[in-house]
């Protein structure tokens, strides 16, 4: 229904401008009537709450960062079946991001290229929105990043931890966006060690007043395995609570059909990212050795893809690009598929299969 009727109309909106269609959708979701919201949520076996990072997740399917950067549609996401939502990336000060157009659909490949550049309303405004919703509960992670012109990027992350600690269920330290020049350098061992030391220190300082907020590190799928060794080593030694694998890729897989779009700069997401990001989940899982859980993101567009990501090592998953192509009904269909897998295999919970295929996947040829 979405793909036959709604999607063509949506893709024609705003003269075919992808960002215009995104803004229109967010406005509709922000004003979804309460009755419609209540009617939407169904309950599957996979809706049994699970504890990850010390938090109770109602189900393992989350909304990835970037969709609701400013937290304007918070009530809509749980109503559509999501178990958690990650707002952001939020920066300390509001910033406009890069010039438009900066989001491009690659329709035949079910992919997106974006170079948004952390456009967002800034910490103060987003904090007010999250605080106004705080009594409604639900897991709302806050993905934080540095302003483009920041003189001390690590300090931005520290201030953001201090600001959002009272309302953030968890933090994601985003050092993997390709659209803020130099940001990905924060993944290098010495810089990352300094950043995480300061971030974890800030979290400990605010803990007494604001409670505990787990800190997760979100990485790029483009790291070399030697770099991944360093990143995991630093993450473990600084005792982060988890990692999100992965952000968008700056690579352009040879399978992409849209030659004209390939010259667009930015991060690629969606179906063509699936194999690389799943490989990186498995590579990370074997290096982490159970020290903390992982969230898997990248190209998940079906129950089967979700299951593969979980078997590669993800305790939870996040979606973004597939919602553009398949609509929000995808959340319920992934949950239904995961639930029938549980019933069919006689398992109580997905945690029994997290990482079951990690060793096999890491032995395969590198995804091209």
Known catalytic residues are 177
Complex with ligand FMN: residue 45 or 140, whichever CB lies closer: 140
* Residue nearest to ligand FMN according to CB distances in the complex: 66
In angstroms, the CA 172 to CA 251 distance is 23
In angstroms, the CA 325 to CA 331 distance is 13
Complex with ligand FMN: residue 71 or 88, whichever CB lies closer: 88
| Minimum distance from residue 96 beta carbon to ligand FMN (Å) | 14
Residue 152: name the closest of 203, 198, 97 by CA. Answer: 198
Complex with ligand FMN: residue 37 or 129, whichever CB lies closer: 129
Beta-ladder partners of 120: 95
Say if residues 310 and 60 touch (Cβ distance below 8 Å). yes
- Token pair of 245 as six digits: 């694998």
Complex with ligand FMN: residue 45 or 61, whichever CB lies closer: 61
| Minimum distance from residue 122 beta carbon to ligand FMN (Å) | 13
Q: How many CB atoms lie within 10 A of CB 83?
A: 25
| Minimum distance from residue 178 beta carbon to ligand FMN (Å) | 10
In angstroms, the CA 341 to CA 263 distance is 40
Residues that bind ligand FMN (CB under 6 A): 64-66, 69, 88-89, 103, 112, 114, 116, 143, 174, 177, 218, 247-248, 269-270, 273, 297-300, 319-322
Complex with ligand FMN: residue 102 or 203, whichever CB lies closer: 102
| Minimum distance from residue 2 beta carbon to ligand FMN (Å) | 16
Name the DSSP letter for residue 55: E
In angstroms, the CA 25 to CA 46 distance is 27
| Minimum distance from residue 33 beta carbon to ligand FMN (Å) | 27
Q: What residues contact 305, with CB distance under 8 A and at least 6 apart?
A: 274, 299
Residue at token pair 């295929």: 357
Three-state DSSP class for residue 155: helix
| Minimum distance from residue 314 beta carbon to ligand FMN (Å) | 12
Three-state DSSP class for residue 304: helix
Beta-ladder partners of 86: 141
Complex with ligand FMN: residue 45 or 76, whichever CB lies closer: 76
DSSP 174-222: E---TTSTTGGGGGSHHHHHHHHHHHHHHHHHHHHHH----EEEEE-TT
């Amino acid at each position: 229904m979405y793909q036959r009727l709604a999607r063509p109309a949506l893709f024609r909106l705003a003269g075919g401008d992808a960002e215009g269609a995104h803004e229109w959708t967010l406005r509709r979701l922000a004003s979804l009537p309460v009755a419609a919201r209540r009617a939407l949520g169904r309950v599957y076996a996979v809706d049994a709450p699970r504890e990850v990072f010390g938090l109770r997740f109602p189900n393992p399917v989350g909304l990835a960062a970037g969709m609701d950067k400013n937290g304007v549609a918070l009530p809509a996401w749980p109503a559509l079946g999501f178990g958690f939502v990650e707002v952001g990336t939020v920066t300390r000060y509001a910033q406009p991001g890069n010039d438009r157009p900066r989001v491009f659909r690659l329709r035949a490949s079910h992919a997106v290229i974006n170079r948004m550049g952390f456009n967002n309303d800034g910490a103060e405004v987003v904090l007010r929105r999250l605080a106004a919703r705080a009594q409604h509960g639900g897991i709302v992670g806050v993905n934080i990043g540095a302003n483009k012109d920041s003189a001390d990027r690590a300090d931005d992350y520290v201030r953001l931890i201090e600001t959002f600690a009272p309302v953030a269920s968890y933090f994601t330290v985003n050092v993997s966006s390709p659209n803020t020049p130099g940001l990905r350098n924060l993944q290098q061992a010495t810089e990352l060690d300094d950043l995480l030391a300061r971030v974890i220190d800030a979290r400990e300082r605010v803990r007494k007043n604001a409670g505990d907020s787990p800190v997760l590190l979100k990485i790029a799928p483009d790291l070399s395995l030697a770099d991944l060794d360093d990143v995991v080593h630093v993450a473990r030694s600084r005792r982060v609570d988890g990692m999100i694998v992965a952000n968008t890729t700056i690579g352009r897989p040879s399978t992409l059909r849209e030659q004209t779009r390939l010259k667009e700069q930015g991060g690629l997401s969606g179906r063509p990212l699936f194999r690389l990001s799943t490989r990186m989940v498995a590579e990370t899982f074997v290096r982490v050795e159970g020290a903390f859980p992982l969230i898997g993101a990248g190209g998940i567009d079906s129950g089967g893809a979700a299951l593969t990501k979980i078997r590669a090592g993800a305790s939870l998953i996040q979606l973004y690009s597939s919602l553009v192509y398949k609509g929000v009904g995808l959340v319920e269909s992934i949950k239904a598929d995961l639930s029938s897998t549980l019933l069919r295999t006689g398992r109580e919970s997905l945690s029994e299969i997290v990482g079951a295929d990690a060793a096999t996947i890491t032995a395969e040829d590198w995804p091209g």
